[in-house]
């Protein structure tokens, strides 16, 4: 009897122990994952909230308003992350400028002082901006007895290129922009050279343009740790600069328009083999491609659609060098493009213009120096620090050439930083054209300011809104600072006409002989050290290993150059259907 009780007591004890252990395991198995799941969920929600607070890319707030919405502070040492590629703007609603509450900074005392100087200027200065203006069609007809074809908007644009500006007929340019945004794309190819992704689009009329795909949303800002020569290009910067250049009256920026393309039917299916084999489907089931370029052409920096729609800018090519020659001029206000020696002479010597630039023969006579100042005035407004060279046409004989406003993709990257160094040509040389001064002053003082005029112009683009609206506040702020620098120069003059003029002439420098090539004088000896082992604007970089395909060289040798047949008429200049793009960034 006692043995039986012990047996049952022992069995009961082990059953109780087993039940207790099983209960503990069961509770642990339920409690652990639930806790982890809750923790992960909370962490994901925090990350999503942090991302939305930092990016906030859909709200387009002005910079001064955006500063009041910093929901999450950066941790010590935290660097900016890449913004995920955003979908294209399709059927965006128009936004009234009055609803944006853009703050304009207008100093009435400053404006009054500038106006008092301007009334001292003779009226004849306004008429002498460009002494001899002839178009390419007229010049070739007069000098070579040849007719320029004008069968489509491309050819009409080329025929209208003049010795003073790229175009003067807004209706013609509007038709060109419409064609580039709507015509069927029949072939795509990799654009040779350049640091970032660009494609050559051939349209159904055998005319071509360069396509820059959108990489970031409108509000994405340049990482402050990035050098100007390593910054990403922005497709919308090219579009916005074209419109700003037009409303400033320069008309020297290449026509550019926004377009949303289908990456499958409009790019991949009509692509050359080298480009087509870089397409793939991402883990998110989006159509992507890599292309080939010097810097950001790898899987990490792939261009991806949503799922296969992609927004980009389409920019018309300039005429071929063989038909309309151009010169590649090094700017005297070129930066060092060096990580070690970051400041050039002109950034440290305020007498640089008087001591050197005004004594360079190519700038000592004529309008070249004033054209360069015009270019830097626009660069300051758009925040472009990457102006190392500029192009000029070399086709109009002895008529002075102007600087073409090319390569603006690294603009509109910072809304809270105004680089005063970009204005050094104005601040040091103290020269400005009467028409430029009048235009800037009008936008500064008129009821309808610069940003409102730009907003109305950009609203006509198919990809509107082109800019995050916070850039409008930056434009108004920079325009105000520009007027401050202009007044500083005016106060230094004994005669205001020494500053406000259409041409500059240095009597101590012999005038150039007609036809004399002066461009080589631009080279600076002190740049040689910076060019060694440093990043140069057009320096080729080795491709990542994943791009170095064994059959690339063989395919490159075998590929056909895209030059569609041309119809040559009697006594007609042959304008090529394939034309060279703007210089590689």
Residues tagged active-site? 386
Instruction: Answer yes or no: is 316 a known binding residue.
Output: yes
**Contact call for residues 509 and 442 (beta carbons, < 8 A):** no
315 is in an annotated binding site: yes
Q: Can you point out the beta strands (E) in 247-397? A: 256-262, 279-281, 287-289, 303-304, 309-316, 326-330, 365-366, 389-393
* Residue 301 main-chain phi, psi, to 5 deg: -110, 30
467 assigned to a ligand binding site: no
Which residue do the tokens 């929600």 mark?
Answer: 45
Q: Which of 258, 211, 311 is nearest to 582 (CA)?
A: 211
* Distance in angstroms (rounded) separating the CA atoms of residues 91 and 390: 36
Q: Which segments of 446-544 does DSSP mark as H helices, in order? A: 450-458, 470-491, 528-531
At residue 311, what are phi and psi to the nearest 5 degrees? -90, 150
Q: 196 among the known binding-site residues?
A: yes
Question: Whole-angstrom Cα distance, residue 269 to residue 260?
Answer: 16
Asked whether residue 503 is marked as a ligand-binding residue, the answer is no
Whether residue 535 is annotated as binding a ligand: the answer is no
Burial pattern 153-192, b for ≥16 Cβ within 10 A else e, equals bbbbbbbbbbbbbbbeeeebbeebbebbbebebebbbbbe
CA distance 475 to 84: 27
Judge contact between 305 and 285, C-beta under 8 A. no
Query: Distance (Å, rounded) from C-alpha 259 to C-alpha 505?
Result: 45
317 is in an annotated binding site: yes
Q: How many residues does the chain have?
A: 585
- Binding-site positions for ATP: 196, 212, 233, 315-318, 391, 407
- Binding-site positions: 196, 212, 233, 315-318, 391, 407
- Binding-site positions for Mn(2+): 233, 407
């Amino acid at each position: 009897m006692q043995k039986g009780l012990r047996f049952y007591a022992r069995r009961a004890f082990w059953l109780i122990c087993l039940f207790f252990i099983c209960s503990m395991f069961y509770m642990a198995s339920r409690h652990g994952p639930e806790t982890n799941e809750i923790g992960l969920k909370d962490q994901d929600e925090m990350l999503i909230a942090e991302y939305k607070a930092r990016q906030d890319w859909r709200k387009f707030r002005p910079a001064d308003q955006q500063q009041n919405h910093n929901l999450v502070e950066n941790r010590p040492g935290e660097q900016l992350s890449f913004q995920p590629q955003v979908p294209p703007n399709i059927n965006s609603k128009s936004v009234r400028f009055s609803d944006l509450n853009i703050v304009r900074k207008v100093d009435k005392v400053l404006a009054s002082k500038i106006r008092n100087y301007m009334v001292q200027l003779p009226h004849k200065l306004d008429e002498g901006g460009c002494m001899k203006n002839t178009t390419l069609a007229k010049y070739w007809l007069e000098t070579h007895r040849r007719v320029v074809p004008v069968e489509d908007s491309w050819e009409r644009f080329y025929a209208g290129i003049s010795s003073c500006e790229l175009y003067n007929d807004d209706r013609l340019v509007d038709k060109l922009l419409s064609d580039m945004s709507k015509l069927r794309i029949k072939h795509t190819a990799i654009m040779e050279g350049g640091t970032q992704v660009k494609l050559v689009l051939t349209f159904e009329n055998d005319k071509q343009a360069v396509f820059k795909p959108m990489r970031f949303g409108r509000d994405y800002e340049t990482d402050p740790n990035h050098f100007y020569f390593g910054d990403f290009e922005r497709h919308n910067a090219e579009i916005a600069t074209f419109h700003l250049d037009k409303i400033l009256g320069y008309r020297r920026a290449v026509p550019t328009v926004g377009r949303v393309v289908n990456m499958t039917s409009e790019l991949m299916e009509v692509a050359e083999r080298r480009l087509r084999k870089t397409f793939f489907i991402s883990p998110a089931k989006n159509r992507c491609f890599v292309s080939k370029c010097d810097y950001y052409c790898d899987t990490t920096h792939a261009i991806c659609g949503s799922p296969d729609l992609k927004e980009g800018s389409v920019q018309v090519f300039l005429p071929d060098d063989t038909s309309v020659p151009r010169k590649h001029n090094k700017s005297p206000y070129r930066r060092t493009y060096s990580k070690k020696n970051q400041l050039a002479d002109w950034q440290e010597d305020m007498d640089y213009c008087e001591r050197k630039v005004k004594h360079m023969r190519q700038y000592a006579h004529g309008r070249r120096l004033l054209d360069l100042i015009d270019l830097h005035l626009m660069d300051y407004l758009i925040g472009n620090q990457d102006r190392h060279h500029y192009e000029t046409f070399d086709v109009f004989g002895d008529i002075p050439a102007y600087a073409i406003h090319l390569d603006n993709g690294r603009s509109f990257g910072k809304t809270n930083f105004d680089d005063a160094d970009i204005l050094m040509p104005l601040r040091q040389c103290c020269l400005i054209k009467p028409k430029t001064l009048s235009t800037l002053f009008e936008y500064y003082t008129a009821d309808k300011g610069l940003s409102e005029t730009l907003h109305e112009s950009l609203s006509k683009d198919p990809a509107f809104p082109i800019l995050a609206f916070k850039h409008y506040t930056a434009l108004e702020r920079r325009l105000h600072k520009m007027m401050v620098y202009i007044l500083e120069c005016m106060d230094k003059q004994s005669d205001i006409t020494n500053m406000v003029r259409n041409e500059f002439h240095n009597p101590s420098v012999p005038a150039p002989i007609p036809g004399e090539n002066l461009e080589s004088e631009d080279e600076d000896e002190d740049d040689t050290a910076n060019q060694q082992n440093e990043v140069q604007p057009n320096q080729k970089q080795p491709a990542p290993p994943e791009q170095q395909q064994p059959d690339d060289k063989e395919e490159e040798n075998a590929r056909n150059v895209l030059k569609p047949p041309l119809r040559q008429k009697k006594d007609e200049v042959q304008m090529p259907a394939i034309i060279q793009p703007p210089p590689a960034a």
